Amino acid sequence: MKMRFRLVSVSAPIIALTISFGLSSLILLIIGKDPYETFKIMFEYGIRGKSIVSIINRSIPLYISAIAVAVGFKMGLFNIGVEGQYLMGSLVAAYIGAQFSIITPLHILFIIIVAVATSSLWAAIAGYLKVEKGIHEVISTIMLNYIGTGLIAYSLTTIFDEPNSNYDLPRTKELPETGKMPPLNKFFNIEDLQDLHGFLVIAVLVGIFYYWLVWKTTLGFDLRITGSNPIAAKFSGINPNKLVVIAMITSGGFAGLVGLGPLLSYFHRYTIDFPTGLGFAGIGVALLGRNHPFGMAVGALLFAFLQRSAQILDLNDVPKEIEQMMQAFILLIVVVFYEVIRRFIVKQQVKDASKRSDE
Amino acid sequence: MKLAINIKNITKTYPGVLANSDVSIKVKSGDIHAIVGENGAGKSTLMKILYGMVKPDSGNIEIFENKANMSSPKDSINLGIGMVHQHFMLAKNLTVLENIILGIDRPFLKNIKLSKYKTEIQKVMELYSLNIDLNQYVDELSVGEKQRVEIIKVLYRGAKILILDEPTAVLVPQEVKDLFKNLKDLKNNGVTVLFISHKLDEVLEIADEISVMRSGQMIDTVLNDNVSKTQLAEMMIGKSLPTPPARLTSTDEEVILKVENLKSNDENGRTIFEDVSFEVHKSEILGIAGVEGNGQKEVVEAIIGIQALDSGKVIFKNNDLEKQGTRERLESGISFIPEDRQLQAMIMEMDLTNNVIIGRQNIKKYKSSLGTVKMKNAVNESEKVISAFEVKTPGTSTLATALSGGNQQKFVVGRELEDDPSLLIASQPTRGIDIGAQALIWEKLRNSRDEGLSVLLISADLEELIGLSDRIIVFYQGKLVKEIEAENITPEDLGSYMTGLKK
C-alpha cells in the first residue's frame, strides 16, 4: 500500500514537468521558434561531458541551500535569510581561512566550522527577534539580508580587503593551497574535463545528515509535529520558543555551507563577483523537492541542467530567458499537483479505514 | 405570528463527527431566541450553516417564510442575516466609520463619500439607540464597544436577523448589562436576535424562547416563562447515556496531586480562576464539574504547565512543579487527554505509529542515546494500543485523519494509559463518540483506577462524572464552590451547583 502512495507522489513532479514543457513550447511557437529544435539543442548541449560537470558543480550550492530552507519549512518556519546568512559565512570564512596554513583536511574543516558558526549566529538573530519580540521571521530575515549585504560591502573594502593588493576591486586574500578543496576528477577518470568540485562529497554527506536529523531524531520529530499542528505540539510538551531558536540556528548552519562549494573549489577568495542569489534559488528547489533529501537533489540537478543547457540558446537565436520561465512554470504547477495528490492519498486512506470498520 | 427563521431537518457530518443530526428550529420574527448547549453540541455548525459558511448535507432553510439557498455569507447578508462573531472581525488601525463601511463601497480611484455614510450610519444608530464615536480608532475601544461596532456594522448592512455567537464570553458584567439593553432596543424595533450561549442565567434574563442542543441534536424549544434553570441544565446535559457501574475498591490515603490557591488572570486582567485548592489521592477519580467557561479547563491546563499561573502551587508526588515545563511534567508521570483530540492530541496527517510517540518523544522507550526515534518500539506500542483498545484501523501506518472519532479517541486514551502514569488528567474523554467506544473507555479508566491510577476527570456529561468519580468538585465563575462525595449526589443537584443555583 505504501508503495502505491509513493508512486502516486512521484507523479506530481512528472506531470508538472510535462505541462511546463508544453507551456514553454507554446511560448516558443508564439515568438516563432521551433520548440522541438530548441529542446533538442538544449538537451544535446546539456549532456556533453563538460556540461555534466558544470551541472553537478552548479547543483551543489543549490542543493545545500534548499536543505537550509527545508529545515525551517519542516516546522513551518520561513527562513528567507539563507541568502544573507551564506554570504556572511563565506566572507568571514574566506578571510579567516586565508590567514594561516595547516594540513588540508584540518584547514578545510576549520573553514567549514567558521562559515557554519558565522551563518548560524546571523540566523539566530532572527530566531531571537521572533521569540523575544514577536517579529515574524520573514520580515526579520529579509531585513537581515539587506543589513548583511551592506555589512559585507563595507567590510570587504575595509577590514577584509587584501592588503597591498595591486588588484583594483576589493577582495580577500587568496586561500593558501592547503585551504583549497581538491577536485574529484581522478576518481571518475575525467581528467580531461574541468574540475569536478570536491565539495560534492560534503553535499552528499549534508543530504544524509539532513535526512537523519529530520526523519530519524527526536528533534526532527519535534520539528515535524510543530510544523503540522503547533497546538498538539505544545500539548505534547514541546517548548515552541526553544524550538524556533534551534531550527533557526540549524537552518543557518546549513546555510553556512552554501557558499563553500564555490569558495573552496573555484574562487578561493571572496570577491565582489562571488555568486549571489543561491539563497533564494534554494527556496524554489526546496518547494520542488518537497523538503525531501532525494527530491531536492533531483530538483537541484534539474534546475542546474536548465541553467547550463540554456547557455547554448543565445548562439541559436533563441532568448535564453525561456529557461527562467520554465523554472517558474515547474514551480507553480508542481505546488498545485502536490496538493491534488495529497488530497487523493488522504481520501484513499479514509476509504481503506472505513472498509476496515465495516468488517 | 410570522417566522423569521425556519430550519428543517438539517444534517451535517464531518469525517468522524456528526455535527448536526436532523436539526429543526423555528424562530419567531421579532423575538430574542437563545440557543444553548455545551461546547461541541452543534450550535456553531448550525450557525455557520445559517450564515452560509457551511453547506448542510441535507435539510432546508426558510428565511421570512421564503425558501433560502445560501452558499456564502454574502447570500445570507442579502437575505437580511447578520452575524457577530465571538472573535471580532475589525481592522484595529481604522476608525469606527471606516470599519463599518469596509467592503461596502468599492471606489476605483475616487473619493469615498465619508460624510454621506456618516449621516446614514448615524440614522441607524439613532433608530436602535446604539451610541459610539464614529471617528475613534477601533484600537482605542473597549471590548464592549468593539462588539457594538460589529452590531452597527451588520445592522447598517440591512440585517433584520442578528446572530450573536457567545456575545457575553468576552464582556465584563457592566458591559453585559449594556449589551442586553441594546438587544432589547433592537427587539422593540423589530429585529430578530439569535443568541448563542451556554450561560443559563443570561439566557433566562434576555431570551423569549430557548432552544437546547445536545450532541448534534435539537432537544427542545421552550418558552422562557415555562422553564426553570434546573430544567434547562438537565436538558443541556442529558441523562440518556449508559451509566457506568459503581466502583469496587477504595481510595488510598496517599496524596498524588495537590494544588494550592491557584490563581490566573487573562491578558485583559479578568480573573480566569482563583482560590483553587484541592487534592487527588492515589487510586481515586476526582471529577471536576462546571459549565463550560467557568475556569476548570484552564485549571487543568495549568497543572500540566500550559496555562500560566499568577500565583499558587502545583505539587505532584511531593515535588513542586513550578520550575518544570510541560515536557518535564508529562515525563514525570502525568498523562493528559486534552478535550479536542483532533486539534490538541493528534497530528491528523501523520500515521498512528508517529502519533503514539506524541507527548513521549523524549522518554527512553522512544529516544535512543544518539537522539534518534526508536521507530520499532513505536510500531510495537501502537500495535499494542490498537489491540488493547480495539481501535478499528487497517494498520499502524494509517493516517489519524482516516479513523472515525471514536477510534481516534480510543487511540489517544490508550496512548496516555500505556506507560502506567501516576496521574491521568482526562478532559472530556468521551465527548462526541459512539456509545461502544464510550463504554470501552469507561471500563479502561475504572480498571486503571482500581490498579492505583489517580484520575482528574473533567466532563460535561454528568452521568459520566457521577458514575466514574469518587469525589466531585464543582467550579462556578472561576472558583471551587463545592466538594461532594459522588455517591451522594444526583445530576439535578450537581446541575444546581454548577449553575450557581445552590451553594
CATH assignment of the domain containing B200:
3.40.50.300
Residue B347: which of A1, A212, A228 has the nearest Cβ? Answer: A228
Residue A296, Cβ neighbours under 10 Å: how many?
Answer: 28
B355 in a structural domain: yes
Residue B126, Cβ neighbours under 10 Å: how many?
Answer: 10
Residue A284, Cβ neighbours under 10 Å: how many?
Answer: 21
Same domain, yes or no, for B389 and B444?
no
The rounded Cα B14 to chain-centroid distance in angstroms is: 17
pLDDT at B112 over 80: no
Domain termination residue (choose one: B202, B237, B272): B237
Please, is B131 exposed, middle or buried when counting C-beta atoms within 10 Å of its C-beta (0-12, 13-18, 19+)?
Answer: exposed
Same domain, yes or no, for B360 and B452?
no
- B17 pLDDT tier (thresholds 50, 70, 90): low
Kindly determine whether residue A232 and residue B343, on different chains, have CB atoms separated by under 8 Å.
yes
Closest to A295 (Cα-Cα) out of A9, A2, A57, A5:
A9
Q: Taking the CA of residue A136 as centre, how many other CA atoms within 13 Å lie in the half-sphere pointing to its CB?
A: 6
- B486 pLDDT tier (thresholds 50, 70, 90): confident
Same domain, yes or no, for B183 and B269?
no
Among A315-329, B96-110, B151-165, B251-265, the least confident range: B96-110
pLDDT at A213 over 90: yes
- Report the distance separating Cα A109 and Cα A116, nearest Å: 11
Same domain, yes or no, for B208 and B87?
yes
Kindly determine whether residue A352 and residue B343, on different chains, have CB atoms separated by under 8 Å.
no
B18 in a structural domain: yes
DSSP H or E stretch at residue B457: strand B454-458
* CATH fold of the domain at A58-316: ABC transporter involved in vitamin B12 uptake, BtuC (1.10.3470)
- Tell me the residue type at A173: K
Same domain, yes or no, for B226 and B366?
no
Rg (CA), chain B: 25
Selected for mutation to probe chain B from A235, A241, A341 (highest B CB count within 10 Å) is A235
- B240 pLDDT tier (thresholds 50, 70, 90): very low
* Total tally of structural domains belonging to chain B: 3
Among A213-222, B98-107, B472-481, the least confident range: B98-107
Chain B residues closer than 8 Å to A224 by CB? 350
* Inter-axis angle of helices A104-133 and A240-258, nearest 10: 140
**Comparing B172 with B129, which gets the higher pLDDT?**
B129
Same domain, yes or no, for B299 and B437?
yes
Assign residue B350 a region (left: φ > 0; alpha: ψ between -120 and 50; beta: otherwise): beta
Same domain, yes or no, for B61 and B90?
yes
Is the CB of residue B271 less than 8 Å from the CB of residue B265?
yes
- Report the distance separating Cα B200 and Cα B36, nearest Å: 8
Kindly determine whether residue A237 and residue B359, on different chains, have CB atoms separated by under 8 Å.
yes
Arithmetic mean of pLDDT over chain A: 91
Same domain, yes or no, for B21 and B132?
yes
What pLDDT is attached to residue A138?
94
pTM here is 0.77
B339 in a structural domain: no
Please, is B173 exposed, middle or buried when counting C-beta atoms within 10 Å of its C-beta (0-12, 13-18, 19+)?
Answer: exposed
B246 in a structural domain: no
Provide φ and ψ at A281, rounded to 5°. Answer: -60, -35
Same domain, yes or no, for B426 and B413?
no
- Tell me the residue type at B165: D
B325 touches A at CB < 8 Å: yes
Same domain, yes or no, for B41 and B142?
yes
B405 in a structural domain: yes
Closest to B297 (Cα-Cα) out of B346, B256, B264:
B264
Window 100-139 of B, Cβ < 8 Å to A: none
B394 touches A at CB < 8 Å: yes
Mean local confidence (pLDDT), B111-132: 86
Same domain, yes or no, for B362 and B403?
yes
Supply the range of the domain harboring residue B147. Answer: 3-237
Same domain, yes or no, for B271 and B409?
no
